[in-house]
Amino acid sequence: MLWVDKYRPKTLDQVMVHEDIAQNLKKLVTEQDCPHLLFYGPSGSGKKTLIMALLRQIFGSSAEKVKVENRTWKIYAGSRTIELELTTLSSTNHIELSPSDVGFQDRYVVQEIIKDMAKSRPIDIKGRKGYKVLVLNEVDKLSREAQYSLRRTMEKYSASCRLILCCNSSSKVTEAIRSRCLNVRINSPSEEQIVKVLEFIGKKEGLQLPPGFAARIAEKSNRSLRRAILSFETCRVQQYPFTSNQAIPPMDWEEYVSEIASDIMREQSPKKLFQIRGKLYELLINCIPPEIILKRLLYELLKKLDEELKHEVSHWAAYYEHRMRLGQKAIFHLEAFVAKFMSIYKAFLIETFG
Amino acid sequence: MAPELQSSQPWVEKYRPKQVKDVAHQDEVVRVLTNTLETSNCPHMLFYGPPGTGKTTTALAIAHQLFGPELYKSRVLELNASDDRGINVVRTKIKDFAAVAVRSGQHGGAYPCPPYKIIILDEADSMTEDAQNALRRTMESYSKITRFFFLCNYISRIIEPLASRCAKFRFKPLSGEIVSNRILHICNEEGLSLDAEALSTLSSISQGDLRRAITYLQGAARLFGSTILSKDLLSVSGVIPQEFVDALYAACKSGDFDLANKEVNNVIAEGYPVSQMLVQLFDVVVEADDVSDEQKARICKSLAAADKCLVDGADEYLQLLDVASNTMQALCNMPQEFSYES
């Protein structure tokens, strides 16, 4: 079992990073009156962990007995029938799904499936906890139509069903939905907090941590706790006992992007662009999301650039990322950014050095 | 006294006015509708206005008051964006419902029960244009026995032929006073204590949206118990603390790109919504005294462009970085045109 899963806090009391939020959530559900919740925050900040701990707090240990199901729904939309397949995680009291997985048909998922589930009230002999919890992941990736459909559903079935929505950025969730939920912001843990967690894990595993080692991992992790724990475990596998100057291996793809960045800086020509296209394809094939590639590439380039070029380059990065979102094929826009950068940089070099 | 939190209903639903006359602040509409209740006659209606001003509440209340609980099911069809409302539904469901004749003179006790049915189309601005077009004829041919209520945020998204067939009512954003009164009423009912500062904070962050104000209040009450302070409300509402906005603005002013980049990263890592950041940054820029009008214009232009991109789903970090970079260029009087653009 990976350490990330092994040391995931199971209850709200065990949470180490967002203690105050956890305590507030606990108060919220012990008063038997849970509103709709919207969790938002960067990845690796602990949204899912808190949600699972919250469910356990509400429903007891039965919330942990989850089964994975591949369910198919038949939806009659006017003249044609649409079949949708979606993976759900469910226990007796809650269902978890990512409606955005079905792409542009997510509207139907929201309209039909959620309605369907929200309508059926769970049967409980004691007559308490008369509601089900529906966890929706990645609500920020839902289409606008689907978000519209969600809002009235939320009001209509509020007596029998609570929604827990989870997303990275709440800018992409419509105001209408945000105003119907209790918004819970989960910030990334600070480096000190990451160090604290790493030291806790180290102690549990009986490891000797050289001073400053945990701090270095935390610094490299970009304030993502998951990443910090993963790279901590990688270090453990690579070399133990730790030495204080042990290298912390970067992610493969990050190294690859930084290679691309130095390639671009070295030579600006159509031939190089062609080679870079191959490398970008390689990254895309390995399922690195294009916007992450672009952001990392910008990060690498900004490190190497002169002050006066930074504004221009960051502007074009924002421009091409926006275009990428509107378009279909990510490779065009990534390549366009690289080409644009080459042209800017070449012009700069000619002007400076003649 | 401990707040009573037994009912699991959101307060927004719990305190939704049941009668038209209880609807706050929308005097014209209330007057016309009270008249309707007396004479049992009403035109097609189109309610428009910002969210949380009472459109749905009014429409539901009038329907309930006209027909009472028994006839409500058979006389009122409520459709909103969560129901499928393509052109097919307009052609079948709405038309079928509209075509059914009603018995007149049927009196359900205290209710007027006029001889027509009501179709409420909530969130009508999310209907497609085709569907709206298909409605035109239906509206006219069954106008004797059916009334349509359209509810929407933006009247510009309702096609002209439909709008011209309806009596239009604009729902005004609620004034701070009205919001405060309503909130105080709820506080009394729920046994909450709210000081004057918290109350003014609440009415300023809700910006005339009563639903939002009530949701914040309920959220704060859930999280922090029955005594609610101003800062509790701020933390529930997702407003970014002023020091973050000021730090970003100061970084832009300093002209140091790396510092601005660091601040942007910080904002993202703290998980604040960037759209909110843009709004608050806008406030800071507009109110700044030492910035010329031209600089302000440049900054606002980049804020607007970034907001549009965010709506399209662009990445938050890159957009905020672009805004920061543009702001910096404007504040430090760097040339606007990029020098190396070919």
CATH assignment of the domain containing B251: 1.20.272.10
Per the domain annotation, does B5 fall within a domain?
no
Question: Is the CB of A202 inside 8 Å of chain B's CB atoms?
Answer: no
Which residues between 275 and 304 in chain A have a beta carbon less than 8 angstroms from any beta carbon of chain B?
291, 294-295, 298, 302
Query: Is the whole-model pTM more than 0.80?
Result: no
Which residues between 43 and 62 in chain A have a beta carbon less than 8 angstroms from any beta carbon of chain B?
45
> How would residue B5 be classed by pLDDT, with cut points 50, 70 and 90?
very low
Same domain membership, residue B290 and residue B212: no
Give yes or no for a contact between B221 and B192, defined as CB atoms under 8 angstroms apart: yes
Give yes or no for a contact between A164 and A135, defined as CB atoms under 8 angstroms apart: yes
Give yes or no for a contact between A139 and A47, defined as CB atoms under 8 angstroms apart: no
Same domain membership, residue B166 and residue B24: yes
Domain boundary among B170, B196, B218: B170
Same domain membership, residue B312 and residue B203: no
CATH at B223: 1.10.8.60
pLDDT digits (tens, 9 = 90+) for B75-89: 888 887 656 667 777
Same domain membership, residue B272 and residue B150: no
Nearest to A321 among B88, B238, B315 (CB): B315
Residues spanned by the domain of B122 = 11-170
* Chain B residues within an 8 Å CB radius of A178: 238
Q: Helix (H, G, I), strand (E, B), or coil: what is residue A51?
A: helix
Domain boundary among B210, B237, B264: B237
Per the domain annotation, does B317 fall within a domain?
yes
Per the domain annotation, does B198 fall within a domain?
yes
pLDDT digits (tens, 9 = 90+) for A136-162: 888 888 887 788 778 777 777 776 778
Nearest to B51 among A179, A318, A326 (CB): A179
The torsion defined by the Cα of A188, A192, A196 and A201, in degrees rounded to 10, comes to 60
pLDDT digits (tens, 9 = 90+) for A247-294: 777 778 888 999 999 999 988 899 999 999 999 999 999 888 898 899
Question: Is the CB of A127 inside 8 Å of chain B's CB atoms?
Answer: no
Residue of A37, A117, A172 for testing the chain B interface, max B β-carbons within 10 Å: A172
pLDDT at A316: 92
Per the domain annotation, does B339 fall within a domain?
no
Domain boundary among B170, B188, B221: B170
Same domain membership, residue B150 and residue B25: yes
Per the domain annotation, does B160 fall within a domain?
yes
CATH at B149: 3.40.50.300
* Domain covering A3-185 in this structure, CATH number: 3.40.50.300
Token readout for B267 is: 């904002």
Q: What is the DSSP letter of A110?
A: I
Given CATH 3.40.50.300, say whether it is the number of domain A253-353. Answer: no
pLDDT digits (tens, 9 = 90+) for B260-287: 999 999 888 888 888 889 988 998 898 8
Same domain membership, residue B90 and residue B141: yes
Q: Tell me if B314 and A343 make a contact (CB, 8 A cut-off).
A: no
Question: Is the CB of B271 inside 8 Å of chain A's CB atoms?
Answer: yes
pLDDT at B108: 56
- Kindly give, in sequence order, each residue whose CB lies less than 8 Å from that of residue B138, ignoring residues fewer than 6 positions away: B90, B94, B95, B98
Residue of A311, A320, A321, A325 for testing the chain B interface, max B β-carbons within 10 Å: A311
Same domain membership, residue B117 and residue B29: yes
Same domain membership, residue B192 and residue B126: no
- What's the CA gap between A351 and A309, in Å, rounded? 13
Same domain membership, residue B215 and residue B185: yes
> How many interchain CB pairs under 8 A, A with B?
192
% chain B with pLDDT above 90: 9
Say whether the peptide bond before residue B335 is cis (omega within 30 degrees of 0). Answer: no
Query: What ipTM was reported for this prediction?
Result: 0.84
Question: Cα dihedral sign for A263, A269, A275, A281?
Answer: positive
Q: Tell me if B223 and A187 make a contact (CB, 8 A cut-off).
A: no
Give yes or no for a contact between B44 and B167, defined as CB atoms under 8 angstroms apart: yes
Same domain membership, residue B139 and residue B70: yes
Cα A203 off chain centre by: 28
Same domain membership, residue B303 and residue B157: no
Same domain membership, residue B105 and residue B232: no
- Mean pLDDT, to the nearest integer, of B112-129? 82
Per the domain annotation, does B342 fall within a domain?
no
Q: Tell me if B319 and A42 make a contact (CB, 8 A cut-off).
A: no
Per the domain annotation, does B337 fall within a domain?
no
Q: Helix (H, G, I), strand (E, B), or coil: what is residue A351?
A: helix
SS (H, E, C) chain B: CCCCCCCCCCHHHHCCCCCHHHCCCCHHHHHHHHHHHHHCCCCCEEEECCCCCCHHHHHHHHHHHHHHHHHHHHHEEEECCCCCCCHHHHHHHHHHHHHCCCCCCCCCCCCCCCCCEEEEECCHHHCCHHHHHHHHHHHHHCCCCEEEEEEECCHHHCCHHHHHCCEEEECCCCCHHHHHHHHHHHHHHHCCEECHHHHHHHHHHHCCCHHHHHHHHHHHHHHHCCEECHHHHHHHHCCCCHHHHHHHHHHHHHCCHHHHHHHHHHHHHCCCCHHHHHHHHHHHHHHCCCCCHHHHHHHHHHHHHHHHHHHCCCCHHHHHHHHHHHHHHHHCCCCCCCCCCC
Per the domain annotation, does B187 fall within a domain?
yes
Q: Helix (H, G, I), strand (E, B), or coil: what is residue A89?
A: strand
Which residues between 311 and 350 in chain A have a beta carbon less than 8 angstroms from any beta carbon of chain B?
311-312, 314-315, 317-319, 321-322, 325-326, 343-345, 347-348
